[in-house]
Amino acid sequence: MLEGNYFLTINSIIGVVSIKKVISILLLVTLMLSNVTYADAAKIWSKYVADDKSYSFHYPSGWKVTADDSMIVIENAKSNEELMMVMLPYEKQKTPKQLASSFISAVKSVNLNIKASNWRGLFDSMAMDEEVVFDLSDKIDNKKHLGLGLVVKEMGQAIWFSYFAPSADYYQIRGQSIIEGFISSMASGSTSIAPKVDYTIDVAKNIDKNAMGFMFVLEFALGAPLTKSQEDTILKELKSGWRHLSKEELKAYDEYPTLVKSIMKAKKKDMEKLRSTLEDSIKEWLDDTDQSDPGVKIIKTALDKRGKVVKKGTPPLTEMSLQAYSEIIAYSKLLQKTPKASPDKISKKTVDSVKKQVKELWKNLSKEDREDIATAPGLWVCLRSQYRFGTKDQKKEIRDSVKKIEQAKAEQGTGNDGGGKTNVALNMAAHNSMLQIQQQTFNTYMWSRGFNYQPATGKMW
């Protein structure tokens, strides 16, 4: 974020490199966007033409533009958002990441709080030798701000783009759309055309909400939470595809939050049947989709690993159910010692110990016990999701519920052998139509129009 007279400060750091020279570079970036079909949102952009009519661009309506020969700052005073473009000194031997890092280091001389992280290519498949994207953070008046940055290096020029907003109101997808619309509208003379990109907060909120719903349903079907890195990969591609759709097209995905509620209301005895049905739908889709897609690879690997049969039986013990059940028991054990611990604090050592005990006792377990273990994947995802997004009181309720598992096992005389009946009371209502969930969740239309987004089509980020 820029405070005070940053024009003098930044220009003293970078020197003066004419923005007029940047048009040819931005045209190259715009070519990456040329095949994109955007939502019709031209009315929310305003046009700016340089005093000498040498260049023009569009920016979010209602924002204030301040420009000189080497920097453009566009600010929204009401929301404390900021869009910035800076011409950087071109150093042939440096990569875009190094150029960005040098600029950040220079800015730190007047702003110690600015930081960059999560460096990545413009597209996952591209090296960071021409463009680099990164996350930003800052602290202004003791309030945290988050942002998104992009540095482009091409044709003897280097350009910095960034978007910042207060952390409480930050939507990365909004920042992406604002930067993208700004770049794609840059033109020589006064010929700038309003970008058909909808950056509004309502759209950003809806996409975020639906994407999180999608991720929950996906992880429920897979039977266990994915890692943060895996989630980020999938969400990135999902949102990249969705944010170029119209509001009407986006409505097709409003069912995901509803589906989450349906799953959360499922009875324990129905949960594994529901989960396995969704898993079968994913497998059918995987057979007919691009196997090189990074998100597809993550899902396929997870299914292959978790679907492996560890012990035969009715039902069989799979790696998926064994892992989930063992994590639940490990969490219950942890809560006996640390009542306020989160699920992320369970130890691998304890999980592995429970897994070993379950495998040793499997042949002696009753059918009811085996069925309880088979329901563990869906239950564990639901519990973790409830804990992740729940209130303080809801988290306490979950901890109290899981803590009782070990206590109940002890009361039944099963001790700590890991093979006892769980008797988890989750307070869930009757589940809605499984057929409806299957049709609405993993049908071909949803996957092809939403998740199965290919960076090769030229969509940005």
Contact 199, 44 (CB under 8 A): yes
User: Residue 273 corresponds to which amino acid?
Assistant: K
- The answer to whether 68 and 11 are in contact (CB under 8 A) is yes
Which tokens go with 251? 């409505």
Predicted model pTM: 0.57
Structural domains of the chain, with CATH: 6-198 (3.40.1000.10), 200-305+432-453 (no CATH), 307-429 (no CATH)
Q: What is the amino acid identity at position 432? A: N
The tokens describing 398, both together, are 């979950």
Q: Where are the alpha helices (DSSP H) in 145-254?
A: 172-185, 201-222, 228-242, 247-250
What contacts 24+ positions apart, CB below 8 Å, involve 44-51? 44/198, 44/199, 44/200, 45/181, 45/185, 45/194, 45/195, 45/197, 47/192, 47/194, 48/192, 49/190, 49/192, 50/19
Tokens matching residue 420 = 């006892």
pLDDT of residue 83: 97
pLDDT in tens, the chain (461 residues): 544 444 444 444 344 445 554 544 454 444 444 334 444 556 899 999 999 898 999 999 999 999 987 889 999 999 999 999 999 988 889 999 999 999 999 998 888 899 999 898 875 445 567 889 999 999 888 889 999 999 998 878 899 999 999 998 898 889 988 998 999 899 889 999 998 888 888 888 888 888 888 888 888 877 766 766 777 777 877 777 776 676 777 777 787 787 777 777 777 667 777 777 777 877 777 777 767 777 778 878 877 777 789 998 888 898 888 888 888 889 988 999 999 999 888 998 999 998 998 888 888 888 877 877 887 777 787 777 778 767 788 888 888 888 887 776 555 544 444 444 333 222 222 222 223 323 333 332 233 233 333 333 333 44
Query: Could you give the CA distance from residue 226 to residue 224 in angstroms, rounded to a whole number?
Result: 6
Residue 115 pLDDT: 94
Separation of alpha carbons 165 and 183, rounded Å? 19
Place of tokens 């190094």: 98
Q: Give dist(CA 105, CA 109) in Å, integer.
A: 7
- Rounded Cα distance, 227 and 229, in Å: 5
- Cβ atoms 114, 137 nearer than 8 A: yes
d(CA 334, CA 328): 10
Q: Which of 39, 76, 80 is nearest to 59 (CA)?
A: 76
For residue 313, the SS3 value is coil
CA distances from 50 to 77, 178, 325 (A): 22, 20, 64
